Copies of this chain bind each other. A is one copy, B any other.
Amino acid sequence: MRAAVFQGPGEITVEDVPKPEIEAPTDAIVRVTHTAVCGSDLWFYRGESDRDSGTRVGHEPMGIVEEVGDDVRSVEPGDRVFAPFVVSCGHCEFCRKGLHTSCVDGDGWGGDNGGGQGEYVRSPHADGTLVRVPDRHADDEETLEAILPLTDVMGTGHHAALSAGVEEGSTCIVIGDGAVGLCGVLAARRLGAERIVAMGHHEDRLDIAEEFGATETVSARGEEAVERATELTYGGANHVVECVGAASSMDTAIGVCRPGGTVGYVGVPHGVNEDGLDLLSMFRDNIALRGGVAPVRAYAEELLADVLQGTLDPSPIFTKTVDVEGVPEGYRAMDEREAIKVLVKPEH
């Protein structure tokens, strides 16, 4: 089968690799029909985080179950399924409390199970990991493209908004106009926020933020951006949804948070320790920091129900589509910010 492989910074190739096989009775083999390139893939692509050369990449698979192990109960061959970016058993303490990312038997994609950006994956813990799309929606292309972000960015934006304590009537500020930030806006609207100030640097993306429910946008940078957002919210928002993870955006988040408020964060922290989180401001103003790697499996059923009933559609974040041979081009387009998020459709 064909699959994308990381060769080194700036270099993704598509190779012939062995098709995965059932290894444990709880495994399922999924023929990938839809997957994506993630903003977090750009960290290793840009050489800003370490990754071994020769490893398979991708972690947002959706497809058709081809084969299941003897112990798999919740899916069967022919089912349309998707999988979150983390494998989880579904029944340990942490899975039961909705923190699937801390599953005691969890794993990522990209090891011997196959990365998500390829023709097939092996899903360990299929009952805990895979989410089944009801048959009546299983072949509707538009619906599938709206579901695909539930593998990662939509669940991540939702986790950020929940972590920030967004609820009915909230005023919130969403930082970042990448796919997660845009999904954070959608999530905040879905949770009932009354005012959503979206902060970012790209007018075309902020236009999507407005489509998604942002009531105001701020495109300034640095101190000016903090001042503008603080002014718009009469002294800062109680709920700040941080969707970038860079040191500068964490500073912005703390800067626009109202005393006693909460910053919900989901961007993998980058460079924050070097420059130091502004803990003294947080301390002085009793600003809480909640969040982390998003347990998107916990939110899958709830968000899927909304997509299926037509009240949630994050698919406008996909601004470019490639086949499996086009994955390297997908990385390039995202790296150069030509595309917000790239949809990958391996053709079999």
Contacts and interface: CB of A to CB of B under 8 A. Distances in A.
A287 interface: yes
A295 interface: yes
B290 A280 contact: no
Interface string A317-347: 0000000000000000000000000000000
Contact of A285 (B268, B273, B292): B292
B288 A102 contact: no
Contacts of A272: 276, 279
Contacts of A277: 273, 276-277, 279
Interface in A256-282: 259-260, 265, 268-269, 272-274, 276-277, 279-280, 282
A99 B292 contact: no
Interface string A292-316: 1101000000000000000000000
A170 to B, nearest CB: 15
Given A277-B279, A279-B277, A97 B284 contact: no
Given A94-B259, A94-B260, A102 B285 contact: yes
Interface residues of A, number: 31
A289 interface: yes
A280 B269 contact: yes
B293 A101 contact: no
B293 A283 contact: yes
Contacts of A94: 259-260
Given A280-B273, A288-B288, A260 B293 contact: no
A176 interface: no
Interface in A106-125: none
A181 interface: no
A184 interface: no
Contact of A102 (B97, B259, B268): B259
A63 interface: no
Contact of A273 (B97, B279, B295): B279
A292 to B, nearest CB: 4
B276 A286 contact: no
A291 interface: yes
A76 to B, nearest CB: 32
Nearest to A272: B279
- Would you list the 9 A-B pairs with minimal beta carbon distance, nearest first? A286-B292, A273-B276, A102-B259, A288-B290, A99-B260, A283-B292, A289-B289, A269-B279, A272-B279
A225 B2 CA distance: 49
A290 B290 CA distance: 8
20 contacts: A94-B259, A94-B260, A97-B260, A102-B259, A102-B285, A163-B288, A269-B280, A269-B283, A272-B276, A273-B277, A273-B279, A276-B276, A277-B279, A283-B292, A283-B293, A284-B293, A286-B292, A287-B292, A289-B289, A289-B290
B286 A288 contact: no
